[in-house]
Structure 1
Amino acid sequence: MTAINTVVDLAKDGEIAVVTVNSPPVNALSADVRDGLAGAFAAIAADPAVKAAVLVCAGRTFIAGADISEFGKPPRGASLPAVQDAMESSPVPVIAAIHGTALGGGLEVALCAHYRVSDAKAKFGLPEVKLGLLPGAGGTQRLPRIVGANKATEMVTSGAQMGAKDALATGLVDEVVDGDLTAGAVAFARKVLAEKRPLKKVRDDNSKLGGSAADLAPFFADVRKANAKAFKGFDAPEANIKCIEAAVALPFEEGLKVERSEFMKLMTGLQSAAQRHVFFAERAAAKIDGLPADMQPLPMKKVGVIGAGTMGGGISMNFLSVGIPVTIVEMKQEALDRGVGVIRKNYENSAKKGRFSMEEVEARMGRLTPSLNMEDLADCDLIIEAVFENMAIKKDIFGRLDKIAKPGAILASNTSYLDVDEIASATSRPESVVGMHYFSPANVMRLLEVVRGAKTDPQVLATAMAMGKATGKIAVVAGVCHG
């Protein structure tokens, strides 16, 4: 094995070269990765003993995208187009072996290989629209040439990912490998050589686009009309559509020019700068001062919620939706029935919109246990109080919970502004008390304010944050202060 640099190695399995990217945590396309790939493919091109090449990644994923931290900084290292050209113009077949996720720039690199294989769990996507951008390395021009303009438009305007099964059906991958991915990719490379398969360049094949510009004009009009409300105010979705239209209407190189022009408009605009700021802010929020990065959360198999009103019902839905059973407690049967009815209605409305099946509605409702008895919370790992903003009521509830909840259970308050330390003082276990403040409607709003009390145990804090992430929230730690 030869180390091209600190993050890329080149090895040989007989006449097959194996290029391995190992740049934790997600093998992003940093300058070092690009330099390593450029060096590896230059070495492959110069070695007559190499008959085919496999590109694979170490760790938990294939190249998961661009290195966003480089955006807006002076360029350094090999350019991404240069790396892509080295792969696409390779004198020997290049096979990309994909596991984890091939997203954004990662998928754009894979599309420059002559063939692609993956494991059964791999995901593929171009999610740049979520950062106010579009794929800027040929993604809008190559993807429609392999999955069709219709599917490509859906993917670039939504950022949706495609699984391995669909990728195989569309031709995005040529084979799904069982067992060891690298060994499977090398075996596939040998098959390519044995069958004398051609060096297939995605850029050169227009047969899968789905029709001419005139044929597809009604489709693009329908996409704009159907998504007018969702796209309103955002520049990136329209720019992505324009680029797919260019892929259909123009030769590949001309389409690339349209893509580059639209990309630079977005990259230098305020919207993308703001969306990238949010991207990094959300990740910064997950890093908690004074908490070890390897802190393991407590196991959370069952949740209790006190209060079946707007907040309690919405909070319960977060857990029911991800498969966690919930016991919801109210004081009166009428209030309990009304709260459970609202939860069911919300789920049924989602089913009517096609988000999931009626069977899924019943599955989620089946995880809900309504009760008028607070003692039924005794087996819960996490209990969230969601009653009126009244300190006396909350302290009374926490005093009762202290006697009911099992040892080690987390006791959380949904209070929006009351003193969590004073609430915790009503218990003999203030280390188990934390604030978990949801925003209304709690089943929709993504922000979760996790309030760290003076005596909150670090593992309790880590668990509250982990539960936020598990239920699709952006959890942010706050201290105890009025309001």
Structure 2
Amino acid sequence: MAVDYTVRDGVAVITLDNPPVNGLGHSTRLGIVEGVERARDDASVTAIVITGAGKAFSGGADITEFNTPKATQEPTLHTVIRAVEGSAKPVVAAIHSVAMGGGLELALGAHYRVAAPGAQIALPEVKLGILPGAGGTQRLPRVVGLETALNMIVSGTPVLSEKLAQTALFDRLVEGDLLDEAIRFAKDAGARSGPHPKARERAIEHPNAEGFIQFARNSVAAVAKHFPAPHKCIDAIEAGVKEGFDHGLAFERQCFLALVQTPESRALRHAFFGERAAGKIADVPSNTPVRAIARVGVVGAGTMGGGIAMNFVNAGLPVTLLETSQEALDRGLATIRKNYESQVKKGKLTPAQLDERMALISPTLAYGDLAQADLVIEAVFEELGVKEQVFTKLDEVAKDGAILASNTSTLDIDRIAAFTKRPADVLGMHFFSPANVMKLLEVVRGGKTAKDVLATVMQLAKKIKKTAVVSGVCDGFIGNRMIEQYFRQSLFMVEEGAMPQQIDRAIEAFGFAMGPFRMSDLAGNDISWAIRKRRYAEQPGLHYPRIADRLCETGRFGQKTAAGWYDYQPGERNARPSKFVEDMIVAYSKEQGATRRAISDEEIVGRLVLSLVNEGAKILEEGIASKASDIDMVYLTGYGFPLHRGGPMLYADTIGLYNVERAIRKYAAQQNGDAWKTAARVTGLAAQGKGFNS
């Protein structure tokens, strides 16, 4: 049963019991209503307590019922709340740990609320592109005040219960046993005559509600231009302020139903479920035993190695940091300390925490000091010969059962694993720069990687707060393999008539955080140059524009040299169009015999985004990624793809694969069209009228 019903000392106790967070699925909703009615009909019961078993009061809707008939089957949450609110016997919500979304709305329907300290209170629906749909926009402002409620609803950010202790949300904050205190409180309430308070009957108090709402609108407009939900949250709250509870509740429902249908909500819900689905691997059961990771080794104290080390130190895991020279080691430690000092200045860390984290790092120049590490991650130069030296040495010193990982961004993990006598213990852990900030972790599964090794790293990723996506072995894995085609199209368009600034502006207007040329300047043009040189050797027939190589031959490596595709002033990151680069591009086009033409922003966006889609489809065909949502998670968390569009594969579904296929055929008929070959997955799904996420 999803709900347990007991009676203690004349008080009915309705306990939600639907692990892990007591989601309000159909059986739970039904159990609450039946419990309230059972208590109503029992003359010995004077009051009711609703609480949650385990680690939550309630986390809200049961996500396993999303997009199924059960999600809207009666009793809906509206019906449940009417039953609770309309009970003649007082209902007390005993809140602990988590009360979010529909869970908080349920509690708001109770007559009284008692809470334990430290409970997380939130209405996070805006993060799914919707708004609270069961009275949250109407009841919360009436108990915590307009300003606090609006901030909570528009941001979706949890607030600790003790910070709301002085509001009418809670009648009591309980330090002792929550259920015992809730029962005592309920018994006292049951002994009192007269009607019990309802949140809906309270007035919304604010000295200048109209002025504050307008201020909130202006603030939201500045930060949420791509998302309609925050604006609708304000509209629903305003409706309740101006027209009263019933009108506000009806308007809230209209807004909820409209928002559910928006592409932005679809994108946010896709990302929500995609992040959870990424951790599920078809042939690796969730109960696969994992290896204990108590100490981590990192080889290389450069930008990547230092950032990787910080992830584990932040999670309380000691790290042995290896370098080949004392100078490089000192420089790496100084950079880590500087990063932590910056967090102290921003108030994100205390000086004591800085010292604690630095103390977890053991610097060394000796490979032998990695002997006790349970996981060793290599973060050295991206060259197979260098990797061979490192893994040969690690194979000699690492203990039995240690996991050996490479941070390579493109190289063959199977070849790297073959440098050891333990290929089952080897896999890729591709972090993204800056590694201590970026959420994405590509976990590259080699042909011989053991299932428990994969399961261990996926679990560890959660501990260090990364979104881990599994990739098979290929050149560039998921993310960099796709971005290669994206950048290749950028270079073709430069050759054909566009300039870097136009291409960057167009794709940034589409919603990307940064265009391809600004991104390349930031990362360092020499990095992609080195990869291209390897590709030219391995694929001599590859049709690839050489304009980027010519740029690098002049020493314009990007921001670090104050010159790349753009010019930069010393100490600044502002990208300024470069006359030198424009002249070089025009000259290059002439050499290639290319007649430069005007290229529209629409064509720029189409060629860039669909190059990602088409390569992503090939990655799915080859089994490099197991599902389309994994590709989307890579691009949402690691490459700045616009969140409101849900990732390249969902975007393709949104515009329709029929249209995707037609556009690719058109691009293939143009200059440099030989770079396009429609993926069979696109053609097949388009013919069936399906999408990647069907």
Is the Cα contact below 8 Å between 2:302 and 2:332 reproduced in 1? yes
Residues 1:366 and 2:359 aligned together: yes
Match of 1:52 among 47, 51, 64: 47
Opposite residue 220 of structure 1, the aligned amino acid is: A
288-297 or 434-443, which deviates more: 288-297
Q: Secondary structure at the match of 2:5?
A: strand
Determine which structure has the larger helix proportion and give its number.
2
Deviations 1:407-460 (A, max 9, x none): 322211111222222222222322222211112222222221112223323222
| Deviation at residue 285 of structure 1 after TM alignment | 1.3
Match of 1:23 among 18, 22, 27: 18
Q: Secondary structure at the match of 1:143?
A: helix
Aligned to 1:3: none
Residues 1:411 and 2:408 aligned together: no
Q: Secondary structure at the match of 2:152?
A: helix
Deviations 1:13-63 (A, max 9, x none): 232111122223332122222222222222333333321001122333222
Is the Cα contact below 8 Å between 2:301 and 2:321 reproduced in 1? yes
Determine which structure has the larger strand proportion and give its number.
1
Q: Report the aligned-residue RMSD.
A: 2.5
Deviations 1:316-343 (A, max 9, x none): 2212222222222222333333333333
Deviations 1:325-371 (A, max 9, x none): 22222223333333333333333333434434444334333333333
Aligned to 2:172: 175
Aligned to 1:204: 201
Is the Cα contact below 8 Å between 1:305 and 1:316 reproduced in 2? yes
Opposite residue 161 of structure 1, the aligned amino acid is: P
After superposition, residues 225-304 of structure 1 pair within 5 angstroms as 228=222, 230-304=223-297
Q: Which has the higher contact order (CA 8 A, sep 6+)?
A: 1
Aligned to 1:146: 143
Residues 1:166 and 2:159 aligned together: no
Instruction: Provide TM-score, normalisation by structure 2.
Output: 0.64
Is the Cα contact below 8 Å between 1:212 and 1:249 reproduced in 2? no
Measure, in 2, the Cα distance between the counterparts of 1:342 and 1:398.
26
Aligned to 1:35: 30
- Over 3 Å counting, the alpha-carbon distance change for 1:59 and 1:365 in structure 2 is same
Larger Rg: 2
Instruction: Provide TM-score, normalisation by structure 1.
Output: 0.90
After superposition, residues 366-385 of structure 1 pair within 5 angstroms as 366-385=359-378
Measure, in 1, the Cα distance between the counterparts of 2:277 and 2:74.
27
Q: How many residues align?
A: 474
Measure, in 2, the Cα distance between the counterparts of 1:28 and 1:120.
21
Deviations 1:138-158 (A, max 9, x none): 111111222222222222222
Match of 1:64 among 59, 67, 76: 59
Q: Secondary structure at the match of 1:238?
A: helix
| Deviation at residue 315 of structure 1 after TM alignment | 1.3
Residues 1:465 and 2:478 aligned together: no
Measure, in 2, the Cα distance between the counterparts of 1:92 and 1:269.
41
Match of 2:126 among 125, 129, 135: 129
Q: Secondary structure at the match of 1:327?
A: strand
Deviations 1:104-146 (A, max 9, x none): 1111101111112233443221111111111111111111222
Is the Cα contact below 8 Å between 1:398 and 1:427 reproduced in 2? yes
Opposite residue 147 of structure 1, the aligned amino acid is: V
| Deviation at residue 180 of structure 1 after TM alignment | 4.6
| Deviation at residue 95 of structure 1 after TM alignment | 0.9
Is the Cα contact below 8 Å between 2:101 and 2:122 reproduced in 1? yes
Aligned to 2:4: 9
Structure 1 residues without counterparts, runs of 5 or longer: 1-5
Opposite residue 415 of structure 2, the aligned amino acid is: E
Is the Cα contact below 8 Å between 1:152 and 1:244 reproduced in 2? no
- Over 3 Å counting, the alpha-carbon distance change for 1:205 and 1:296 in structure 2 is farther
Opposite residue 14 of structure 1, the aligned amino acid is: D
Aligned to 2:523: none
- Over 3 Å counting, the alpha-carbon distance change for 1:296 and 1:111 in structure 2 is farther
Aligned to 1:478: 471
Measure, in 2, the Cα distance between the counterparts of 1:185 and 1:336.
57
Match of 1:213 among 209, 215, 227: 209
| Deviation at residue 465 of structure 1 after TM alignment | 0.6
Match of 1:87 among 84, 91, 94: 84
Opposite residue 35 of structure 1, the aligned amino acid is: L
Measure, in 1, the Cα distance between the counterparts of 2:185 and 2:197.
15
Residues 1:345 and 2:341 aligned together: no
Aligned to 1:108: 105
Deviations 1:254-276 (A, max 9, x none): 22233223222211100111111
Deviations 1:379-403 (A, max 9, x none): 3221110112212211211111122
Match of 1:321 among 286, 302, 314: 314
Is the Cα contact below 8 Å between 2:217 and 2:231 reproduced in 1? no
Is the Cα contact below 8 Å between 1:146 and 1:171 reproduced in 2? yes
- Over 3 Å counting, the alpha-carbon distance change for 1:261 and 1:123 in structure 2 is same
Q: Secondary structure at the match of 2:442?
A: strand
- Over 3 Å counting, the alpha-carbon distance change for 1:356 and 1:266 in structure 2 is farther
Structure 1 outlier segments of 4+, above 6 Å: none
Measure, in 2, the Cα distance between the counterparts of 1:54 and 1:203.
20
- Over 3 Å counting, the alpha-carbon distance change for 1:231 and 1:211 in structure 2 is same
466-475 or 118-127, which deviates more: 118-127
Q: Secondary structure at the match of 1:232?
A: coil
Aligned to 1:334: 327
Is the Cα contact below 8 Å between 1:213 and 1:249 reproduced in 2? no
Measure, in 2, the Cα distance between the counterparts of 1:340 and 1:246.
55
Measure, in 2, the Cα distance between the counterparts of 1:363 and 1:153.
38
Match of 1:118 among 99, 115, 128: 115
- Over 3 Å counting, the alpha-carbon distance change for 1:414 and 1:366 in structure 2 is same
Is the Cα contact below 8 Å between 2:146 and 2:209 reproduced in 1? no
Measure, in 2, the Cα distance between the counterparts of 1:55 and 1:9.
10
Measure, in 2, the Cα distance between the counterparts of 1:134 and 1:369.
48
Between the two proteins, what is the percent identity of the paired residues?
A: 49
Deviations 1:158-198 (A, max 9, x none): 22112232243434333344555433322221233356696
Q: Secondary structure at the match of 2:109?
A: coil
Opposite residue 113 of structure 1, the aligned amino acid is: A
Measure, in 2, the Cα distance between the counterparts of 1:148 and 1:322.
37
Deviations 1:451-482 (A, max 9, x none): 22233232221111111111111112222333
17-26 or 263-272, which deviates more: 17-26
| Deviation at residue 93 of structure 1 after TM alignment | 0.8
